[in-house]
Amino acid sequence: MGRVSQKAKALIGAVRFPFWGLRFHVYGLTGTCRYGGGQLRVLYAGTQPFFHYFKTTVFSEPPKEEFFGSYSIFELGRARQGLSWDLELFRSHKIFVNFGLFPSCLFVPEWLSGVADLDQQRTMEATSRSRKRDRKLMSKNDVSYSVTTDTGDLEYFYDEMYGPHMHEKHGESVFLMSKEEMMSRVRSNQGELIMIHMGKDAVGGSFVFYEDGRPRLFSQGVLRNDKDLMRCGVGTAIYLCSFDHLSKNGFSDVHMGWSRAVLSDGSLYFKQRFGLKVEETSVVGHFLRYSNASDAARECLKHMGFIHSRHGKTKAALFRRNVKADADKVFLQKQAQVEALGLDGLDIIDLRQSGSRKRYGKGKAKAEQGTQ
């Protein structure tokens, strides 16, 4: 999967780190890429939740799966069996990035979290046309909110809104707060439910819990994941009503929960409408290798884009077939998305056999020549 430096080997030998000995199921995936329609071959080693997320994100239909067995990250070469894979992903810990492992790979965290500035949100109420449209739609559909800690309301929200919405949205890759934890936070005065109403009917909600003096929007849901309610603006109202409530209570910012570190991820893109700025990333993620990238893989990488970590910096990685050519619409949209996330910089990666990686961070852009 990549060459390990002598320095990294020495550090690894000196560190007793439990993640190191873990073994992961390794699969080969072959199927039609969602972007461009070409045949894509992927080698994946990791856990089932992200495995499911990756399959549904990258392939337009369920791919053919081949199970190779269980391997540690340094045994994965055996799973390749001389075959050429377009993309390779294997789960690891970001501490190994700092050790210098697999320098030709990107380390993509499984999750990222971010915050929204509530003062900025108040400014948007006066200046943003899209925000004015959102408020007008809420008014048209008689959308309002209430705040409750009632056990019956919480159970109804969990069983009819949060659970169905998250399962429908994320499938096998879903991560849920347990009902017991939700109730426990309410009993300890650390949580409350913002219930969204359309007329007199409860149609959605957001569970807010408070940690270290900061509110966190951790669990949201729409009644039975009803698409008509989403079209009526309930999904947007969940965030705007939460902001209204928290602003009234004197908070200046709010934690927006966790999202995938994939720029094409719908949840991340939706939260950016509300001013999400990346604050931290998970310590566990996946190394991504693309050295044998086919045309299908190039289309996939170009349309997805990733957020990656290296040496304490969190940057975006955008891919282009030729960095010297004029930027296309897809790239420009992704670039605008990246600029709004408040990251440490941007790596633009040339997908030709030989090209350059341009790093845009604070200050002047730098270019590094090399083969990707």
Instruction: Write the CB contacts of 71 (distance below 8 Å, at least 6 apart in sequence).
Output: 23, 24, 26, 45, 78, 79
Report the 10 Å Cβ neighbour count for 147.
Answer: 14
Nearest 5°: CA angle at 170, between 168 and 176? 95
**35-49, 85-99, 125-139, 300-314: least confidently modelled range:** 85-99
Specify the pLDDT at position 80: 66
Q: Is residue 130 classed exposed, middle or buried when 0-12, 13-18 and 19+ CB atoms within 10 A define those classes?
A: exposed
More confident residue, 68 or 40: 40
Specify the pLDDT at position 351: 82
Has residue 266 got a pLDDT over 50?
yes
- When the pLDDT of each residue in the chain is averaged and rounded to a whole number, the result is 86
What tokens does 65 get?
Answer: 């799966």
User: According to CATH, where is 3.40.630.30 located in the chain?
Assistant: 113-259
Specify the pLDDT at position 41: 94
Query: pLDDT tens across 282-310, in order?
Result: 999 999 988 666 889 999 999 999 999 98
More confident residue, 224 or 98: 224
Has residue 19 got a pLDDT over 90?
no
Whether the CB-CB separation of 44 and 14 falls below 8 Å is answered with no
Specify the pLDDT at position 8: 43
Cα–Cα distance for residue pair 62/147, rounded to 1 Å:
42
Q: Which CATH number fits domain 113-259: 1.10.10.60, 3.30.420.40, 3.40.50.2000, 3.40.630.30?
A: 3.40.630.30
Whether the CB-CB separation of 67 and 25 falls below 8 Å is answered with yes
Specify the pLDDT at position 82: 63
φ, ψ of residue 209 to 5 degrees: the values are: -120, 155
**Looking at residues 275-286, what average pLDDT do you find?**
93
What tokens does 180 get?
Answer: 């017991």
Has residue 262 got a pLDDT over 90?
yes
Which band of pLDDT confidence, cut at 50, 70 and 90, is reported for residue 368? very low
**Looking at residues 134-140, what average pLDDT do you find?**
96
**Looking at residues 151-163, what average pLDDT do you find?**
97
Q: Which helix (H) or strand (E) holds 164?
A: helix 163-170
Specify the pLDDT at position 292: 63
**Looking at residues 17-41, what average pLDDT do you find?**
82
φ, ψ of residue 131 to 5 degrees: the values are: -65, -40
